Amino acid sequence: MLGDVDHPGYVDQQAKLLGRLRRIEGQVRGLARMVEQETYCIDVLTQLSAITKALQGVGLILLDEHLRHCVAGAAASGDQEHTDELVHEATTAVGRLLRS
Amino acid sequence: MLGDVDHPGYVDQQAKLLGRLRRIEGQVRGLARMVEQETYCIDVLTQLSAITKALQGVGLILLDEHLRHCVAGAAASGDQEHTDELVHEATTAVGRLLRS
Amino acid sequence: MLGDVDHPGYVDQQAKLLGRLRRIEGQVRGLARMVEQETYCIDVLTQLSAITKALQGVGLILLDEHLRHCVAGAAASGDQEHTDELVHEATTAVGRLLRS
Amino acid sequence: MLGDVDHPGYVDQQAKLLGRLRRIEGQVRGLARMVEQETYCIDVLTQLSAITKALQGVGLILLDEHLRHCVAGAAASGDQEHTDELVHEATTAVGRLLRS
């Protein structure tokens, strides 16, 4: 149920994450095609926003699994110091997402 | 150490949070003064970005304390269902921050 | 119609902007009150996201007016170099908004 | 110098944009590889934030070129109504970027 030393928290969602990332990769390729075909600036920007949103969606799944398994796992094991480290790391990662 | 039923996770940081929010309130008032005095658009926008960043900083403190106390507290108590609910709620809150 | 040397681009929207900023100032004060009253972390975060969104809304009005008056005004006057400078400045401001 | 009916504003930057998008496509593929190899959640999130930032960078180039050519071009031609439409469209696109 909780994360272990061998697998990251998102291991149960791996197939879903890979599917999403493959779709995003295709969307980036489609964006390049739009630029090649000289599509109107604003239409390219709209599609770019959709891709950014899709990437953030993947980030939220990763964060959710990380909290659910790694952070909660450390807390359940009673290791307060490790829990604090993981929480700090997770909040820092959210800060990077927010500033990107 | 962990959150309890009577206090939110951020209770230890309450004074710090209130200090930051008071400063942000003053910055918003300063922004209104800039608009009143017809300050150059871009300078107003730069200051507005600084305030948004300061607000996000408060959000990250709240999130950090929430994970550290409420989420980790639920996990330490062994209540998996409650932990899952809290994690879901936290991730949803991060999603709102990202989209704001 | 177009911006002039004496007034920033947003001068026509000044009253609207001031109204919005006064409301945002009140919302920040309300946020401090929530923290004082030890409101649940996630509810504070939700309200914080709403304020960030409101600030970004003000930023979009400022940007819109800046483009409509200052940038378009420079372009209409035929001053290509000044137009380029203003565009560069506006894009940089958008970059700051995105990273905040 | 200014945009015309046949080409979008970013036509001068087309090679640069395509180079960046090709690199981003490779980065997304690398992200999928990290997930496949069960890389630690936070490291995946850090790389995801870098890709989002790179995409926003492409968005800023597109916006810059759009303002520099399409919007300024419409203003220089004296067509106020068309300029207003283009500005509104550009601001709306920035709004979508901010919320993504």
Each residue of C30-79: pLDDT tens digit? 999 999 999 999 999 999 999 999 999 999 999 999 999 999 999 999 99
Neighbours of chain C (3+ CB pairs under 8 A): A, B, D
The amino acid that residue C75 corresponds to is A
B3: closest CA of chain C, how far (Å): 11
**D29 occurs within a structural domain:** yes
A3 domain residue, yes or no: no
Whole-angstrom Cα distance, residue A25 to residue A20? 9
pLDDT at A22: 98
**Count of structural domains, chain D:** 1
The residue behind tokens 């879901």 is: B88
Domain membership flag for residue B43: yes
Residues recorded for chain C? 100
And the tokens for A40?
């109107």
Other C-beta atoms closer than 10 Å to the C-beta of D53 total: 16
Q: Are D32 and A22 in contact (CB < 8 Å)?
A: yes
Rounded CA gap, B44 and B52, in Å? 12
Which H/E stretch holds residue A80?
helix A80-98
Would you call D94 and C94 a contact, using CB atoms and an 8 Å cutoff?
yes
Helices (H), D37-98: 41-65, 72-76, 80-98
In a domain, A38, yes or no: yes
User: Is residue A76 within 8 Å of D28, Cβ to Cβ?
Assistant: no
pLDDT given at position D17: 97
Indicate the pTM of the whole model: 0.92
CB contact under 8 A, C68 and D87: yes
- The answer to whether residues A34 and A47 touch, using CB atoms and an 8 Å cutoff, is yes
Give the CATH number for residue D61: 1.20.58.1000
Contact B100 D100 (CB under 8 A): no
Neighbours of chain A (3+ CB pairs under 8 A): B, C, D
A49 vs B8, residue with greater confidence: A49
What pLDDT, on a 0 to 100 scale, did the predictor assign at position C47? 97
Q: Which chain C residues are closer than 8 Å to B45 by Cβ?
A: 59, 62-63, 66, 93, 96-97
Q: Which domain holds residue D88?
A: 10-98
- Judge whether D4 lies within some domain: no
Report which of A99, D64, D88 is spatially closest to residue C63, judged by C-alpha positions. Answer: D88
Chain D CB contacts of A13 below 8 Å: none
Which of chain C's residues have a Cβ under 8 Å away from the Cβ of A100?
A: 99
Nearest residue on chain A to D38, alpha-carbon basis: A8
**pLDDT over 70 (residue D10):** yes
Query: How much is the pLDDT for D3?
Result: 44
Q: For C17-41, what is each residue's pLDDT tens digit?
A: 999 999 999 999 999 999 999 999 9
Yes or no, beta carbons of A68 and B84 under 8 Å apart: yes
For D40, list phi and psi in degrees, rounded to 5: -55, 130
Average pLDDT, chain A: 92
Dig out the tokens for D80 from the structure.
């106020």
CA nearest to D97 within chain B: B99
Using pLDDT thresholds of 50, 70 and 90, give the confidence band for residue D100: confident
Interface residues of chain A, partner chain C, Cβ below 8 Å = 99-100
Cα separation, B44 vs D69, in Å, equals 25
Chain B residues with CB-CB distance to D56 below 8 A:
none
Q: Specify if A28 maps to a domain.
A: yes
ipTM for this model = 0.91
